[in-house]
Amino acid sequence: MAHVVLESSLAAAGLADRVQVSSAGTAGWHVGKPMDARAAATLADAGHDPTRHRAQQYDAGWTSSYDLVLVMDDSNLADVGGRSERVAKFRDFDPIGTGDDVPDPYYGGDEGFTEVLEMVARTSETIVERCRRVLR
């Protein structure tokens, strides 16, 4: 969800040609598969296109290849080797609840996906603003 929303937000801000977004899980459970149907429906209901997204697994080389690696929770943070100048938590940029985990709605109901979408949308706007400042 975060990938789709952040990419859409960057495109709307005219930054799609200057900022690349990739996403991956730290485990390979769903590699090659589309996102959870509930996540896709939540995104589609909000006007986003979830159909192009396919799961991939995080590669340790990304930490040196990308300017910034954002993780969703403390478990992911540990999986990628902890905080560094290139690794942070997604919600470190959230204007509400800064530094908290993005909850995994997978085992809950549809309302969890809506909550995550709201969280991701507001955080993505902050990330886009940060990108604008850095790229000036």
By CB atoms closer than 10 A (0-12, 13-18, 19+), residue 41 is middle
Q: Which residues pair with 89 in a beta bridge?
A: 71
3-state DSSP assignment of residue 113: helix
| The one catalytic residue among 45, 67, 74, 104 | 104
Is 33 within 8 Å of 54 (Cβ atoms)? Answer: yes
Is 72 within 8 Å of 90 (Cβ atoms)? Answer: yes
Would you call 49 a catalytic residue per the annotation?
A: no
Which residues carry out catalysis? 104
